[in-house]
Structure 1
Amino acid sequence: MKKIFYLTLISFHFLTAQEKSKILYRNEVVTITNKSKLEIESFIEEQREIAKSKNVEEYSINIPYDNFSEISNIKGASINPVTNKKTKLSQYEISTNELKSRDIFYSDNKYKHFDFNSVVDKSKIEYSYKIKQNEPRLLSYFTFQHELQMVASKFEIRADASVEIGYKLFGENQDKVVFTQTKEGNTNVYTWTAVNVPAFKEENRSLNYTYFLPHVVYYIKSYTKENQKEDIFPDVKHLYKWYYSLVKEVNKLDQTAVKNKTLDLVKDKTSSKDKAKEIYNWVQQNIHYVAFEYEMGGFIPRDAASVFDKKYGDCKDISNLLNEMFKYAGIESNLVWIGTRDKPYSFSDVPTPLVNNHMITAVKIDKQRYFVDGTDSFCPFGFPSAMIQGKEGLIGIAEEEFVIEKVPVVDVKDNKLKVDLKLKIADNSVFGTSKIELSGYEKSHFLNVLAANKQKEDEILKNGMARFNEKIEVETIDVNKHEYENKETTLSYNLKLDGWAKKIGEKIIVKPILLAPFKEYIIDLKERKLPIENDSKFINEFNYIYEVPENYQLEFIPENSKKENETLSYEIAYKKDKKNLVVSQKIILKKLLIETNTFESWNSVVSELTQQYNQSIILTKK
């Protein structure tokens, strides 16, 4: 789906200088006039005080836009702090560049770039520009927070009285934003102001910044022309009406090849679920994801026959092909507009294209709806892709009919890493064999990593267990990927840990827990300010069978241990017999989001878990 960019690019690099720069003011005025057609133009101006001239990134400016908008009247200057002399920005210093992303093959996203010359410590820089928005459905938002402190900011909409505006404030620090609405003649004026909003610091593995930055989303509900009301986005019904208008005419080419392939795929299948799975797996294996975001091509799927023939497409293209193939197989199927977990909005909050950035397909079989995302090459049928768990989907049923349903979050028991180890102790080492089984997202993530790094497959296989213990040495014995089968991916290894056993006189001391997820994963309560996002909930299960060395017996084993909170749990148990020691270790991550108010209880569980990893068994000679 087409991405809608905020008008000033926020790079969110980490600032390393001790002395921080400031945004002294940032103002934007959006003027909406209703003449022969709606005309929308914004004027943006900003001034910054640059603490250190070495912080070049702070006076390197990027202004994104696309083919739906036009940038003009870029002006700027740097101001010397001693002489107050202005050095104006030359038009020759302004470049136009393609805004590239590793996730997008081709798009119309661009940006204007310029740097300021003659900047010294404590210089001020100022710049302004205009942007004309040519598509009234693709308005965006204004944010009152930045990676630099925002001393003052103002956002203003000046709209003809015949234009009805919609708006909603999102994010944190909303108490710092003051709203007023006034009228000047035939113009409605909506104004939001904020002062002294602190700098925002991005943190690893957190939610998208739009969850936190205070920002106002604005859009046009309707306008009146010659006493005739024209609706744009007064509600989600009209958003769906627009979306439907974009897809209703797409499949006009000859679909015979698509139909014949579908019928061939399902000819030996008796149940609708088996048919759907066969079609989905074929698309996963044969249609390659390539993202296109060019003008309306960012919203309109390409013809199913064309995608089938070329064997590639973006999310809309793949969803459209799946939708047609499911229908040819006699399965109820519908297109779904959806936002990934990067989007903090619901359709009721924001009935505009800003709420979603993705398209999938939904099939209904025996009264159960399955959300199908063909862009994930190894996601099992029946699972939504991980990035849309818990999100609202706008499901198109017919021209005047749609439903909004929330995509389920996959149950923790369906995402599992299980490791069975058979081990011996000798010569200060622990060695033996292991078998790993991966299911659900654990399986699909592993297969996606392998597929994206085929030249490094051996290295990935060998290092797969090193994330739990970097000292472990492994030799791959067997790999059964079972990519599109209803079976776990299985990996078999020989393994060895030199120096893991210590022989002291008549005794051998060994730490029996070899694999240690979340070891010392303590959250810094002073530094960490944002919640931690996980791709999925999952279970890690490790079962160790230690063969007791000949002429030795177990003198000491640790006590069983378990602890849990609302986010994390673990259980470690020991069982011995005449020949073996059996150790079971289970860890469950229960939440997609580790909220800040659970950090202390998280640390408490992790601290005890880490202590258990350091426990030892003692063997003594008979």
Structure 2
Amino acid sequence: MKYFLSLAITILTYFSAFTQGVYDASKIPETLTKDASAVIRNEEQFFDITGIGSAQYDYTIAVTILNKAGDDWAQLEEFYDRFSPISNIKATLYDATGKKVKDYKSSDIKDRISSDGFSLLQDNRVKLLKFVSNTYPYTIEYSFTQNFNGIKSMPYWQAIKGFGTSTEKTSYTIQINKGYNFRYLTSKNLKTDSVVIGDKIQYKWISTDNAAVQSEPLSIGLSNISDWVKAAPNQFEFDGASGNLDNWKDFGSWIHNLNTDGNRLPEATKLVVQNLIKDAKTPKEKIRILYNYLQQNTRYVSVQLGIGGYRPILAEKVAEVNYGDCKALSNFMKALLNEAGIPTNLIIIGSGMPSMNPNYSSISQANHMILCVPLEKDTTFLECTSQYNPMGFIGYDNADRNVLMVTSEGGKIIHTPVYSAKDNFQIKKTNIKFNEDETAEIGIKTTYGNAQFENIFGITLQEPAEQRKIIIRNTNIPGAELLTYKYEQKDKTQPVINEEINFKSNQLLTKGGDKFFLTLNQTNRQESAPLKIENRKTYFSVPFSYTDEDEITYTLPKGYTLEFIPKDVTITSEFGTYTAKFSSKDNMITYVRSQSMNDKKYPPEKYNDYVEFRKKIYQADKQKAVLTKTL
């Protein structure tokens, strides 16, 4: 008996020691710690679909945090709602050797409403736990079960979780009943294993030893270097509604049917519509009048309750309460235009997301709704959540992408308008007059269009004190003292805004011996050049294409003459074009600059060519004129 007892204690001690050493940070290969602040030691996603509208999701993850930069990983933050409760949470903290430090109790885990900051009503809640360690490295591990009562999408899986994070091992398993149909896409060369187990079929993907990637500027994501899987159901059920997602046409039919009889208006609102448009001569004029009515009489409030996350609030309700989310306001605008005799179509869109894949339908590719008005000679798109956008301007997050148009016959993939570099313009004219004491009076007038209008418009909504801070923070002019400023949108029907700013400065001229040096680009200067990256990994792009046109006229102080002026510069590349022209007459210097950039997606091997292009612009923007004082 003593022998067997001793043997049992020995075995238990062995297995305890073995388990504690699993997360020993010293055993992580150097290839995984290089450039990493955290290492995913093990991650397992198991999604068991037990029926058209039910599934169980089991998740486990262990992460070793190497330094303070990896502390963002030291937390459990899992979201759920009444259709996807979370249970059976287990969480453990380990030290550098893999020795267990603490098992967390259920009372340590917070359960809170998940506020997105703008939704009035929503189902979402979140389970929260912050792991705390005073030393590095340390490892956190947690697991949970999530039961789904309604399936409209499936978990996404990607092996590389972000910049500065390596992955030792991660796996994803989808288990289905025989006869259940779903679709999936995978990254190139990722092996899919499938096995039949009784009346179940398992699909499994595994990825190991993914080294960390350092953060790369202008990156458009890690998908070109990481293993990933996207999956979506064909038949689905959610919150009492069922549908088919096997193609965009069927998904569009589901959205259309959700809104059956949803765009009826109260009689009072119908009378308002008819009164507003009674003198309108064209469909475009009617659209503009009713779009202005929408903007002036409604506000955006998100509502995310069950199927309400997909079904618009009734137009009658919006007319009553004067608010709604993107679906409700788009549907309300649809109802207004329908009363005016103008047919429209709701548009499902991934705002700020990649363009929809025409050959792979899934709810996860969309997060927003706008409205399309297909007129005889052109098509107008309306962003119905904005109280400020001119009619037809939908913003660069919605532009130039595949979207789903909802019709009575089903869904149809179409493309939203493209805002070209010339459309996204910034035109700046500056007059700088030097006084005899070398101080300068600076007047700047700028016009912004489309995407650049969108970038600058937010400042007009700020308080004056905050506006002044933003203007001063954004100026390149040395020693600038802000005198006056003004913003004006002369034509509310166009995405164009004018800005007028006046400064004064006594630091534009720098003296060297008996010479005075004047940097000629004072208003739109590239202040630095990016560094080259050897063996860059990810694709890159500028946020949007644009064109900047700058003209600066200098009136020199009395008694100064121009001794040197730079030669004209022209820089051309596949990334864009740049010119700088210099001229002088009497006591005046004129500097004219133009820069046009495109937003194409470039492979990583072209990044250093882009850096060279930017370096040339940086050097050209620093050029100086040389003045001498004659009196």
TM-score where L is the length of structure 2 = 0.84
Would you say the 8 A contact 1:447–1:481 is kept in 2?
Answer: no
Would you say the 8 A contact 1:316–1:358 is kept in 2?
Answer: yes
Alignment counterpart, residue 89 of structure 1, candidates 80, 104, 117: 104
Would you say the 8 A contact 1:380–1:440 is kept in 2?
Answer: no
Structure 1 distance, partners of 2:337, 2:202, is 50
* Aligned 1:21-420 pairs, distance under 5 A: 21-34=38-51, 38-51=53-66, 57-79=72-94, 84=99, 87-115=102-130, 124-147=139-162, 148-170=165-187, 174-175=188-189, 177-199=190-212, 206-207=219-220, 213-222=226-235, 232-252=244-264, 254-343=265-354, 345-349=356-360, 351-398=361-408, 400-420=409-429
Instruction: Tell me which residue corresponds to 2:6.
Output: none
Would you say the 8 A contact 1:418–1:541 is kept in 2?
Answer: yes
Partner of 2:487, secondary structure, is strand
Would you say the 8 A contact 2:222–2:538 is kept in 1?
Answer: no
Would you say the 8 A contact 1:450–1:460 is kept in 2?
Answer: no
Partner of 1:525, secondary structure, is coil
Structure 1 distance, partners of 2:607, 2:455, is 26
Partner of 2:290, secondary structure, is helix
Cα gap change, 1:207 to 1:102, in 2 (>3 Å): farther
Would you say the 8 A contact 1:569–1:605 is kept in 2?
Answer: no
Partner of 1:433, secondary structure, is strand
Cα offset, 1:593, TM superposition: 4.9
TM-score where L is the length of structure 1 = 0.85
Partner of 2:79, secondary structure, is strand
Cα offset, 1:523, TM superposition: 4.2
Instruction: Tell me which residue corresponds to 1:226.
Output: none
Cα offset, 1:197, TM superposition: 1.8
Q: 1:328 corresponds to which letter in structure 2?
A: E
Structure 1 distance, partners of 2:136, 2:616, is 49
Q: 2:107 corresponds to which letter in structure 1?
A: Y
Would you say the 8 A contact 2:160–2:222 is kept in 1?
Answer: no
Partner of 2:316, secondary structure, is helix
Would you say the 8 A contact 2:356–2:402 is kept in 1?
Answer: no
Cα offset, 1:299, TM superposition: 0.9
Structure 2 distance, partners of 1:448, 1:83, is 50
Q: 1:196 corresponds to which letter in structure 2?
A: D
Moved more, 503-512 or 293-302: 503-512
Q: Deviations over 1:213-252 (max 9, x none)?
A: 53212222249xxxxxx97322222211221121223235
Cα gap change, 1:472 to 1:210, in 2 (>3 Å): farther
Would you say the 8 A contact 1:94–1:112 is kept in 2?
Answer: yes
Cα gap change, 1:213 to 1:301, in 2 (>3 Å): farther
Structure 1 distance, partners of 2:200, 2:400, is 41
Cα gap change, 1:343 to 1:506, in 2 (>3 Å): closer
Cα gap change, 1:579 to 1:24, in 2 (>3 Å): closer
- Asked if 1:448 corresponds to 2:466, the answer is no
Structure 2 distance, partners of 1:59, 1:420, is 51
Cα gap change, 1:582 to 1:231, in 2 (>3 Å): closer
Partner of 2:586, secondary structure, is coil
Q: 2:62 corresponds to which letter in structure 1?
A: Q
Partner of 2:391, secondary structure, is coil
Instruction: Tell me which residue corresponds to 2:11.
Output: none
Cα gap change, 1:354 to 1:90, in 2 (>3 Å): same
* Aligned 1:473-492 pairs, distance under 5 A: 473-476=481-484, 478-482=486-490, 484-486=492-494, 488-492=496-500
Cα gap change, 1:553 to 1:125, in 2 (>3 Å): closer
Q: 1:438 corresponds to which letter in structure 2?
A: Y
Q: 1:29 corresponds to which letter in structure 2?
A: F
Cα gap change, 1:604 to 1:122, in 2 (>3 Å): closer
Cα gap change, 1:448 to 1:275, in 2 (>3 Å): farther
Cα gap change, 1:521 to 1:265, in 2 (>3 Å): farther
Alignment counterpart, residue 424 of structure 1, candidates 433, 436, 457: 433
Would you say the 8 A contact 1:62–1:113 is kept in 2?
Answer: yes
Structure 2 distance, partners of 1:590, 1:311, is 40
Would you say the 8 A contact 2:356–2:401 is kept in 1?
Answer: no
Moved more, 575-584 or 387-396: 575-584
Cα offset, 1:95, TM superposition: 1.9
Would you say the 8 A contact 1:378–1:483 is kept in 2?
Answer: no
Is there any run of 5+ residues in structure 2 with no aligned partner, and where?
1-32, 237-241
Partner of 2:418, secondary structure, is coil
Partner of 1:72, secondary structure, is strand
Moved more, 128-137 or 73-82: 73-82
Would you say the 8 A contact 2:153–2:233 is kept in 1?
Answer: no
Q: 1:562 corresponds to which letter in structure 2?
A: T
Would you say the 8 A contact 1:421–1:545 is kept in 2?
Answer: yes
Q: Deviations over 1:403-461 (max 9, x none)?
A: 2111132022122221212222232333232222222222233223322x235454157
Cα offset, 1:589, TM superposition: 2.1
Structure 2 distance, partners of 1:311, 1:460, is 35
Structure 1 distance, partners of 2:623, 2:370, is 48
Cα gap change, 1:150 to 1:611, in 2 (>3 Å): closer
Q: Supply the RMSD in Å over aligned alpha carbons.
A: 3.3
Q: Deviations over 1:531-573 (max 9, x none)?
A: 4554432222111122244454433211111112222321111
Would you say the 8 A contact 2:579–2:593 is kept in 1?
Answer: yes
Partner of 1:412, secondary structure, is coil
Instruction: Tell me which residue corresponds to 1:519.
Output: 527
Cα gap change, 1:581 to 1:402, in 2 (>3 Å): same
Instruction: Tell me which residue corresponds to 1:586.
Output: 594
Cα gap change, 1:335 to 1:198, in 2 (>3 Å): same
Cα offset, 1:267, TM superposition: 3.2
- Asked if 1:438 corresponds to 2:448, the answer is yes
Would you say the 8 A contact 1:28–1:42 is kept in 2?
Answer: yes
Would you say the 8 A contact 1:523–1:599 is kept in 2?
Answer: no
Q: 1:366 corresponds to which letter in structure 2?
A: E
Q: When the two structures are aligned, how many residues end up with a matched partner?
A: 591
Would you say the 8 A contact 1:425–1:501 is kept in 2?
Answer: no
Structure 2 distance, partners of 1:454, 1:211, is 43
Cα offset, 1:526, TM superposition: 4.5
Q: Deviations over 1:247-300 (max 9, x none)?
A: 223235x43333333333333332222322232233234422222222222111
Partner of 2:192, secondary structure, is strand
Partner of 1:92, secondary structure, is helix
Cα offset, 1:61, TM superposition: 1.2
Q: 1:422 corresponds to which letter in structure 2?
A: N
Q: 2:400 corresponds to which letter in structure 1?
A: G
Would you say the 8 A contact 2:183–2:233 is kept in 1?
Answer: yes
Cα offset, 1:335, TM superposition: 0.5
Is there any run of 5+ residues in structure 1 with no aligned partner, and where?
1-15, 224-229
